[in-house]
């Protein structure tokens, strides 16, 4: 069974500082990995996805994530935080082996930006 662990349910950073949100995964097969962002009372928006083409994945809004197989990690980073980055972030894993590519999500990390 696949699973995702997000370390830190709440992260606060100052505006302009580095954002680092941590995600570790467990999967018996090479997975798809994703980061989604959710703003209050809204659905999820895909930030980026890893599908094995490259270990460093660039996404929208200046975010990127690096797949490290040896550490089973897929941490999300952004060099300089902006106030508009305040939201809930979810890491997710999908088993690419079968037709049902259902997502298994972590519990989320709420990012607060300090002015």
Residue-by-residue DSSP string for 73-103:
EEEEEESS--GGG-EEEEEEEEETTSS---E
Contact in structure between 63 and 47 (CB atoms under 8 Å): yes
Nearest distance, CB of residue 23 and other proteins, angstroms = 11
Q: Which of 43, 53, 56, 115 is the binder for other proteins (CB under 8 A)?
A: 43
For 93, the token pair is: 């894993």
Q: Does 47 bind other proteins (CB under 8 A)?
A: no
Q: Does 90 bind other proteins (CB under 8 A)?
A: yes
Q: What is the total count of residues that contact other proteins (CB under 8 A)?
A: 25
* Number of Cβ within a 10 Å radius of residue 77: 14
Q: Does 28 bind other proteins (CB under 8 A)?
A: no
- List of residues contacting other proteins (CB under 8 A): 32, 34, 36, 41-46, 49, 51, 90, 92, 94, 96, 99-108
């Amino acid at each position: 069974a696949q699973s995702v662990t997000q370390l830190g349910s709440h992260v606060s950073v100052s505006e302009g500082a580095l954002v680092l949100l941590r995600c570790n995964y467990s999967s018996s097969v090479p997975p798809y990995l994703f980061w989604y962002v959710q703003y209050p009372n809204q659905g999820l928006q895909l930030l980026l996805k890893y599908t094995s083409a490259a270990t460093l994945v660039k996404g929208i809004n200046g975010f990127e994530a690096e797949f490290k197989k040896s550490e089973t990690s897929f941490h999300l980073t952004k060099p300089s935080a902006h106030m508009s980055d305040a939201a809930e972030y979810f890491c997710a894993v999908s088993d690419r082996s079968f037709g049902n590519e259902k997502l298994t999500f972590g519990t989320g990390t709420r990012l607060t930006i300090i002015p």
